[in-house]
Structures are given as structure tokens and as C-alpha cells.
Structure 1
């Protein structure tokens, strides 16, 4: 059911949030009004962008603003890379942890913001109620294939693993504590896998022609994450399992027919989605979700991030010449230009330190484009001035980092940050310095081809080996 008054209020707020491309909000309204319950649960904004012919960055902004307006709730999900199971889902980044265990695979993983952590959006129950708002009331089928599993895991043949898994299920039911269920399957050559999909409780029984016949039903006990099945010899044909839930929580129990006793699930690829890394590098998220922090003391790994550091050359003289207040106003204008350039190239400003800016980007190509854009757009500030007060020094470096909370703000920590800052210190006025890790990245050579480039070897404090640094000057006029 849709709350029309609430929906209209939220849509008005969303329309007014910013200048959207034509029909962007109306496409979202159509989804809210006519989409199925499944379509409104854990919406992938990247997929939405593709289906609706919207730029990805705008689609991500759309859903973030829709959260602010009250239309959607945001979910952080830990997704198993082996089976696409949603191991855990959190409404807040502060509740996210990086060590997780998949019951379906019975495997442990350490998550990074680049991998395994994905962000989706579910319609707010205040706007429209859908059955997935109460997972405990779902049918066993909906619980497993729409709540526990994500369609993002793709088999080598292009079919979602969740669809392939549906074809393996021979019986599936919810069993309340203290109750039992008789599950009948028509077994074929291979093996039967019984699984409680909310714990490690499972049994595995080969099915082979000529096997002795075990009297039916085969008793199975599920209790506190453990599963005990009576010893059984099973030949192809009808077999009944009496599954008793001796635990204190409901069990969603299923029996799958595997094609062989040595069946191995193929390695999955994953459809494009909104990763935790990309969200942290989206300026709208940093602007509107400032309360989102990383509470884990060790932070969350980011396997690949490109950082840009900027600083103003001669800013002390500027303060001395025009006074603190005037200089402050002008420096703030310069910050806005840097912010705009960062957003144009898919990045986010992490922090400002005095006259300096630190920004994070998804790719080295984006970072270099942003650095060039920053240099040009800030120089526009000098055109109406008697002298060039604003001259940038920029450093760019790429590597792994740790996302942390410092001073109640999302930040990055580690050697990649240190190197990026020190490379910026090597730059002269109007110069952009990039490291080998950036220079050799895809598309960067093409971007910097028009610019004079000088290579040097630099000894950086805290770095054991000399680093190759490329100095990008302005194009000759």
C-alpha cells in the first residue's frame, strides 16, 4: 500500500534537492508506484541507471537524495564472493564489520570496501509497504532467493547463480522451534545436500544406484547451528526426510539435488553494483551522511584508491597583503572550485587542511583529469586580479589504504596517504606531480600527452626506495 500524501511530500523534496536531468525523478516515481515488491527491495542504483538510461553518477545521487527525502532506506551488505549470499545487512556504516562467515559456503572472509561490501536501497515503509520489510514473515522461497541471496552473482554462462540454485532445490520450508517437517524428494544420481540457510547446519548424502535402501523417513535433527542426520544409504527414487528443529529459532531448511558427490560451484562474476568504496568517494554521501562513521578500530581496507593533495603556493603572502578576512573569503572560493572539479571527475573531497585539499578518486584517470581541471579552474580566479594570487601545487598517488574515522569524519590512513602528501610537496607552482603507479595506469598516458612531462627520482621520507615522479607543467602558450 502506498501512502500518497507521504509519497507526494517526499517527491516534492526530491525535485527541489538539485537540478536533475529531464524525467529522472519521474522514472523513480514510476518505480515507486508500479514496481513489484522485489523491484523495490535492495535496488541496485547502477542497474537502475543502465535500465533507465541515466548517468551512473546521477542515479547514485538520486538514491542518496531519495534517502534524505524519506523515500528509501540505505543498506550496507556483506556479500559472499562464492555464492552471492547476503551474509549480513546493516542500515548504518557504523555497524559494518569486515570479518564475516558465510553459512551457505561455511567459509570465512575479510571484506574490503572494493570487494564484498555493496550498497543498495529499499523503499521506506512510511512510503510503501512491501513484504520484504518483515523477513520473518516471508515464505521460505522468498526468504532464500530474495532475502538471503542476491541476483548479482553471475555464472560463466551469464545466468545468475540464484536462478541456477533454484533448479537444484527439491524441498524448502520454514520449521518453527519444536516442530518437524517431512520433506519428500525424488533423488537422482549425485548427492543430496540438506541445509539450514541461517546456520552452518547441513548434511550431505551421496545418491548411487545399487545403494542399500534406508527405511524412510530419514530422521534429521537441527539444533543450534548443527545438523545430525541418521546414517543413510540412498539410491535414486523417492525418499522422505523428517527434519526436526530442536533449536530456539526458526529454521529455513532445504534439500538440494547436486549433480555429483564432488560438485563444485563455478567461480562467480558479479554484475556492476554500488560498492562501499564508490559510495565513500561520492560527494553527496559525504555531504549528507556525515553521521556515518566507521566504528571498527582497525578500519576497513580499500584495496585501490587514488588520492590528490593540493596546496596554494604563497598563501602566507596573500594573507599578509590583503588581510585575513579577505584572504579567507578568497581561499574559500578556491576550495569551491576544487570541490566542483572533484565532483565532475567522480571523486570526493575528504578534508581540507589549512589551504590544502585531500580528495579521493575511483581511478587514476579520474584523479589526473581532476588535477588538470583544478589547475585550470583555479587559474580563472586570477584573471580579474592584479597578480596571480592562486597558484596550485598538486600531487597524485595510487595504492591501498585504510578507511577510518578521524575527528568524527571519514578519512583515509596509511602509506598511500603519506606518499601522496609528500609528492605534492615536490611540486612547484602550477605543477602536478604524479607517481609511477598513476603514470602507468590505463588512460593516463593519453590524458597527459599534450603536456610537458619531466621524470625525476625522489627520495621520500618514510619510503625505503627512491620513487619515480612525473612533473606535469602547463602546455606552452
Structure 2
């Protein structure tokens, strides 16, 4: 059911939020009005952008602004890399943690923002109600395959694991506390796996010819996340499992037919999705979701981030020469140019410190191109002035980091941050310094090929070995 008044009001707000490419908002409106419940649940904005021939960055911005307008709610998902199960979902980054346990795989994982943390969007119940807003009312089938699992985990043959798993299910039902269900299956050679998809409770029976007489009924008790099944030899043919839920919570219980007793699930790869890392490097998220902070005391790992630090050379003299107010206005103009260059190359400004900027990027190629654009933008500022008031120094480094909350703001912490800042200190005026990790990253060599490059070895405080640093000067005029 659609609330037409709220839908119209919020679409108008979305339309006015920024200048969109043609028909972007109308495509989202069509989805909201005519999309199935499945299509409006946990939307992957990268997939949406691809299907609608939109730029990925605009697709992400579209859903972020739609959240601000109240059309969608944002979900942070912890996804199991082995079975694409949504182990946990959170409405806020604040509630996200990095250690998780998959009941289906019975495995523990540590999540990083790069991979196991996905961000999706679900239509707001205030705008349109869908059955997934009330998961307790879902059928066991919908609960498992639409609510618990994602279609993004792909097997080597190109088939989503969630689709392949459907072919393994022989029985599936919801069992309330104190209730029981008789689940009859036609067992084939291989194995039968019984699983409560809400806990670690499971059983496994090999199925083989000559195993003896199969009992007509096999009692199974679920209680407190454990499963106790009667001992039985099972041969191919009909068998009934009497499953009783002695626990205090409902169980969604299924029996899967595995092709062999030693069945190993194939390794999955995932279709492109909006990772937590990419969202944190999206300026729109940082601008409009400032209340989103990381509560995990140890922070959340980021396996690969490229950081850019900038600073103005001689800014103190500028304040002295033209006065604090005029200097402040000019420095703010410089900040806006740096922000524009950062966003243009898929990055986000993490913070400003005095006259300095720290920005984060998905790739080193984006970071280096942004640094070059920053230098050019500041040069344009100087052309309108009687003298070169703005001289930029830039440092770029790539590595692992920790996403944390510092001073109630999302930030990065660790040695990668320290090195990036110290490499910036090595830069002379109008110079960009990049480390070996950046220099050797994909596509960087092609980007810097037109520029004079000088290599040096630098001793950095807190770093045990000397680091190779590449100094990018301006192209000869």
C-alpha cells in the first residue's frame, strides 16, 4: 500500500536536493510505485545504477538523498563470505561490530569495511508497506531465501548460491516454541542436513544403500541453540523427522539433501555492491549522516585506503599581509576547490586541520588524479591575484587503516595516516609526494607519465626503514 501524499512530498524534496541527470528521479519513482516487494527490499544501489545506465556515484547519491527525504531506510549488513547469509543487519553504523558468527556455516569471521559489510536500502514503511517490513509474518521460504540470504554470492558456474540452495531443500517450516512438526523427505544417496537457520542447531545423517532399516520416525529436539537427534541409519527412501522445538524462540528449520556425505560448498564471489568502505568515502554520506559514528571500541578495519594530505605553504604570511578576515575567506575558497576535486574523483574529505585537508579515496589512481586537480585548481586561484598567495603541498600514501570515531566524527587511524601526513611534510611548494605503494598502484604510472618525477629515500619518524618517495613537479611550461 502506498501513501500517495507522503510519496509525492518526499519525491519533490528529492528532486530539489541537487541537480540530477535526466530521468533519474522518475526512474526511482517508477520503482517505488510498481516494483515488487522483493525489488524494494535491500536494494543494491550499484546494481540499480548499472541497470538504469547511471553513473555509480550518482546512483549512490540518489539513495542517500532518498534516505534524507524519508523515502528509504539504510541497512548495514554483515554478510557471510561462505554462504551469502545476512548474519546481522543494523539500521545504523553506530550498532555495527566486526566480529560475527554464521549459523549456517558455523564459522566465525572478522569483518572489514572493504568486503563483508554491505550497505543496502529498503523502502520506508511510511511511504509503502512491503511484507519484508514484518519478517515474523513471512513464510519460512521467504524468510530464508529473501530475508536471510542475499542473491549476490555467485558460484563458479555463475549461479547464485541462494538459487542453488533452493534445489537442496527437501523440507522447510517455521516451528513455534513448544510445537513440533513432522517433516517427511525422500532421501537420496549422499547426506541429509537438518538446520535451524536461527541458531547453530543442526544434524547430519549420511544416506547410503545397505545402511540397514530406516526407522519410520526420527525424533529431533531443538533447545537453546542445540539439536539432539536420535541415532539412526538411513537408506534411500522415505523418512520422517519429528522435530520438536523445546526452546523459547521460534525456529525456521529445514532439511537439505546434499549430493555426497563430504559435500563442500564452492567458493563464492560477489557481484559489485556498496561496501562500507565506499560509503565512508562518499562525500554525501559524510555531509548528511554526521551522526553516524563507529561505536566499536577497536574501530573497524579498512584493508586498502589511499589518503591525501594537503597544506598551504606560507599561510601565516598571507594572514599577516591581508588580514584575518580576508585570509579566512580566501582559505575557504581554497577548501571548496579541494573538496570539488576530491568528490570528482570518488573521494571524501575526512577533515580539515587549520589550512590542511585530509581526504580518503578508493583507489590510488583517483587520489593522484585528485591531487593533480587540486594543484591546478589552486593555481587558477592564484591567477586572479597580484601574487601567488596559495602554494599547495600534497602527500599521498596507500595502506591499511582503522575507521574510528574521533571527536564525534568518522576518521582514520593508524600508521598509514601517520605516513601520509609525514610524506606531505616532505613536499616542497607546488609539489606532490607519493610513496612506493601509490607509485606502483594500477593506472598511476599512466597518470603521472607527463610530469617530471624525482625519486628520493626518506627517513620518516616512526617508520623503521627508509621509504622511497616520488616527487611530482609541474609540467614544464
TM-score, normalised via structure 1 length: 1.00
Could you tell me how far 1:93 is from its partner in structure 2?
0.2
Could you tell me how far 1:30 is from its partner in structure 2?
0.6
| Mapped partners of 2:384, 2:63: distance in 1 | 40
Write out per-residue CA displacement over residues 279-328 of structure 1, whole angstroms, 9 at most, x where no aligned residue.
Answer: 00000000000000000110000000000000001000000000001000
Q: How many residue pairs were aligned?
A: 477
Write out per-residue CA displacement over residues 332-359 of structure 1, whole angstroms, 9 at most, x where no aligned residue.
Answer: 0100000000000000000000000000
Partner of 1:434: 434
Could you tell me how far 1:25 is from its partner in structure 2?
0.5
| Mapped partners of 2:236, 2:443: distance in 1 | 57
SS in 2 for 1:274: coil
Partner of 2:96: 96
| Mapped partners of 1:213, 1:285: distance in 2 | 62
SS in 2 for 1:112: coil
Write out per-residue CA displacement over residues 211-236 of structure 1, whole angstroms, 9 at most, x where no aligned residue.
Answer: 11232211000011000110011111
| Mapped partners of 2:149, 2:111: distance in 1 | 17
| Mapped partners of 1:143, 1:207: distance in 2 | 28
Partner of 2:171: 171
Q: Is 1:404 matched with 2:404?
A: yes
Write out per-residue CA displacement over residues 410-453 of structure 1, whole angstroms, 9 at most, x where no aligned residue.
Answer: 00000000000000000000000000000000000000000000
SS in 2 for 1:319: helix
| Mapped partners of 2:430, 2:232: distance in 1 | 77
| Mapped partners of 1:259, 1:28: distance in 2 | 43
| Mapped partners of 1:298, 1:235: distance in 2 | 51
Write out per-residue CA displacement over residues 8-43 of structure 1, whole angstroms, 9 at most, x where no aligned residue.
Answer: 000000000000000000110111011000000000
Could you tell me how far 1:378 is from its partner in structure 2?
1.3
| Mapped partners of 1:47, 1:160: distance in 2 | 15
SS in 1 for 2:291: coil
| Mapped partners of 1:35, 1:52: distance in 2 | 14
Task: Flag structure 2 segments of 5+ consecutive residues without an equivalent.
Answer: none
Partner of 1:264: 264
| Mapped partners of 2:400, 2:93: distance in 1 | 20
TM-score, normalised via structure 2 length: 1.00
| Mapped partners of 1:237, 1:34: distance in 2 | 45
Partner of 1:5: 5
| Mapped partners of 1:457, 1:301: distance in 2 | 29
| Mapped partners of 1:214, 1:448: distance in 2 | 72
| Mapped partners of 1:24, 1:448: distance in 2 | 35
| Mapped partners of 2:40, 2:292: distance in 1 | 23
| Mapped partners of 1:167, 1:214: distance in 2 | 24
| Mapped partners of 1:213, 1:173: distance in 2 | 27
| Mapped partners of 1:286, 1:212: distance in 2 | 64
CA RMSD of aligned residues (A): 0.4
The ranges of structure 1 where at least 4 consecutive aligned residues each deviate by more than 6 angstroms after the TM superposition are: none
Could you tell me how far 1:90 is from its partner in structure 2?
0.1
Counterparts of 1:140-159 in structure 2, within 5 Å, are 140-159=140-159
